[in-house]
Amino acid sequence: MNEITLKATIENIPQATAFIDEALEAAACSMKAQMQIDVAMDELFGNIARYAYAPGEGEATVRFHFQEETRTASITLIDSGIPFNPLSVAEPDTTSAAQDRPIGGLGIFLVRKTMDDMAYEYRDGKNILTIRKKI
């Protein structure tokens, strides 16, 4: 398992994503799966940066684990910010016109649709979110 801990800032999204991309490339990940994971990383790390510590700041740890037998990448994001379970967010109504829908909520929806599994727990004062994707 590899991990990196960064300040939870928008400016560090590229560094967090590059860390994951390096591990995905070493695991011979398909370009399609890598792009889907990159979008998920942008959304999830961005949410931590924007909301977890607001108005203050803190750190986020990104962990990568690859299960060779199942060709599954697991990425875990950990922060000590405000408790927030993204799995408890109701799915947006994508049937109504965009101008009639409230702003927000599509990023988590997209992550849920493109990943094979998503799990959340709040333990020891930390948000722990894991996404999994067969690569």
Domains identified in the chain, total number = 1
Rounded to 5 degrees, φ, ψ at 121 are: -150, 150
Tell me how crowded residue 36 is: count the other CB atoms within 10 A of its CB: 19
Three-state SS sequence of 9-44: CHHHHHHHHHHHHHHHHHCCCCHHHHHHHHHHHHHH
The per-residue pLDDT for 97 is: 65
- What single DSSP character describes residue 102? P
CA distance 67 to 1: 10
Does residue 104 contact residue 46 with C-beta atoms inside 8 Å? Answer: no
Tell me how crowded residue 75 is: count the other CB atoms within 10 A of its CB: 24
Instruction: List the chain pLDDT tens, one digit each, 135 residues.
Output: 699 999 999 999 999 999 999 999 999 999 999 999 999 999 999 999 999 999 999 999 999 999 999 999 999 999 999 999 999 977 766 656 655 555 556 788 899 999 999 999 999 999 999 999 999
Tokens of 58: 């803190």
CATH number for the domain that contains residue 28: 3.30.565.10
Q: Which domain holds residue 125?
A: 2-134
